[in-house]
Structure 1
């Protein structure tokens, strides 16, 4: 086997310039997200903290929800907000689940550790409003944030931890240390200590919580590696895991299946634990 070294860490973690028509995103999400925000029983801009961005949207199904599904967006912890992703609640809502999508403060105004605490506060707040099991999914940086929720040092409350059943990391970042070598770190302000402490792959998973890692087959090699890394390590620590590489998907369209209740992604997210 021939090894290789990464010579350009910025390019290794750059998605837009390495995807055909990559500049189409995130604009492509705006219209469907806006349309979904105006349908059904939606509760928008629920405050879960003191800052202006500490708010989440809650999308409700008809009847009593089967449980709570929380989607945490990406943007390298420095960009975007909850309004771009509302349509991704469609599959779960149509399946009878309540869906919460939070915003959070961004680097460099706050640290990644502070964002992680904010996401826990948002999930705890939503879980107090919706009974039943809790399932989490996050995309890219959001994948980091949701897997941090199932580490044994999770900032989630004990009550929410006891209801957490399944975490899905979509093209997630699970080892933050390589980002020290990127220009993005001027905004993230990580050092080796904070990157190590904040990396789910370097922590132990909570017992009794399932992990699914999901990544597009056409993604950058680092996202494929980061995805395989967490599944491999946590499997060895006794976690029930599965790793899925979806063919012909890239970093931006790998999340599209969440908008369709019949998609393999939505069915995997919400599947009964006995079928896992």
Structure 2
């Protein structure tokens, strides 16, 4: 199921995306600039989903009874927050879809299991507000957590963009300095080993695994592996490698209201009312 062994790859080179993409600061600067513009044009509603300082989400509200999609940001569970990604809101608002973007605590202040608990709280807050399980999508670490939410029956569908589904290869890398995972905990927190959602359990059974075509062989493998494994277990999966995009530019389609990725998320969100509480 997991393909190449960790011993056969240079895990540091495969998983350290900032080192792999030298111009990532320019892409991240674009995220920041578009976020500031979107927040100025249409300030979000801040919703606390817990008592912690970072247990807050931004809601870009498209109006009464609008479907809601939840975006989980990346940063290897140790960087960034909700304010970086407000720039994707206009594309969804243009389709009458609301966007929720939660922050969460970061490693090494908290462990990954605690972060997953916070994301559960954020998703459940949206569900309580709308009466339906939302579509959950995310990038990198957020892709991992999106799959976790689908496995647990909290999402009507999940779209994982450049997701991590088997965390064991991270254990030997510098990225693990903050996460402090051992092999056992990494496996326990890997959704590829979690129960697959199916028609006999609450929640959705759709998982899209999207990855940039120019990403490392390991990121391509992880998405293909997850789609194949859950697909073989009855989940409606879809794998797509977007040509010419790397681990950072893979988010570019989310800034475009007419992109295939945006249209896919909008369509899934409009179907999510069938997964009401």
TM-score (ref. length: structure 2): 0.88
Any residues of structure 2 matched to 1:49-60 within 5 Å, and which?
49-60=50-61
Distance verdict in 2 for CA 1:38–1:129, change over 3 Å: farther
Kindly report the root-mean-square deviation, in angstroms, between the aligned alpha carbons of the 2 structures. Answer: 1.9
In the alignment, the residues of structure 1 paired with residue 209 and residue 104 of structure 2 have an alpha-carbon distance, to the nearest angstrom, of 23
1:148-198: CA deviation from partner (whole Å, max 9, x where unpaired): 1111xx2x6xxxx3xx32100000000011111112212101112211111
Distance verdict in 2 for CA 1:28–1:41, change over 3 Å: closer
Any residues of structure 2 matched to 1:164-243 within 5 Å, and which?
164-207=155-198, 208-243=204-239
User: Runs of 5+ in structure 1 lacking a partner?
Assistant: none
Task: Report how many aligned residue pairs link the two structures.
Answer: 261
Structure 2 partner of 1:271? 267
Corresponding residue to 1:34 among 33, 36, 41:
36
User: Runs of 5+ in structure 2 lacking a partner?
Assistant: 199-203, 273-277
Structure 1 partner of 2:150? 150
1:34-75: CA deviation from partner (whole Å, max 9, x where unpaired): 11112236203x2111211111000011x4243110000000
In the alignment, the residues of structure 1 paired with residue 118 and residue 31 of structure 2 have an alpha-carbon distance, to the nearest angstrom, of 24
- Contact map agreement 1:9 1:178 (CA 8 A) in 2: yes
- Contact map agreement 1:41 1:59 (CA 8 A) in 2: yes
Structure 1 partner of 2:246? 250
Structure 2 partner of 1:43? 45
Structure 1 partner of 2:129? 129
The CA deviation at 1:26 is 2.1
In the alignment, the residues of structure 1 paired with residue 130 and residue 38 of structure 2 have an alpha-carbon distance, to the nearest angstrom, of 20
- Contact map agreement 2:71 2:99 (CA 8 A) in 1: yes
In the alignment, the residues of structure 2 paired with residue 209 and residue 38 of structure 1 have an alpha-carbon distance, to the nearest angstrom, of 37
The CA deviation at 1:252 is 0.5
- Contact map agreement 2:16 2:175 (CA 8 A) in 1: no
Distance verdict in 2 for CA 1:120–1:36, change over 3 Å: same
Q: Which runs of 4+ in 1 moved over 4 A?
A: none
Q: Look up the SS of the partner of 1:150 in the other structure.
A: helix
Farther off after superposition, 211-220 or 199-208: 199-208
**Structure 1 or 2: more helix by fraction:** 2
- Contact map agreement 1:90 1:258 (CA 8 A) in 2: no
Distance verdict in 2 for CA 1:145–1:133, change over 3 Å: closer
TM-score (ref. length: structure 1): 0.89
The CA deviation at 1:20 is 4.9
- Contact map agreement 1:209 1:240 (CA 8 A) in 2: yes
The CA deviation at 1:133 is 5.2
Structure 2 partner of 1:120? 120
Distance verdict in 2 for CA 1:267–1:102, change over 3 Å: same
- Contact map agreement 2:57 2:102 (CA 8 A) in 1: yes
Q: Look up the SS of the partner of 2:44 in the other structure.
A: strand
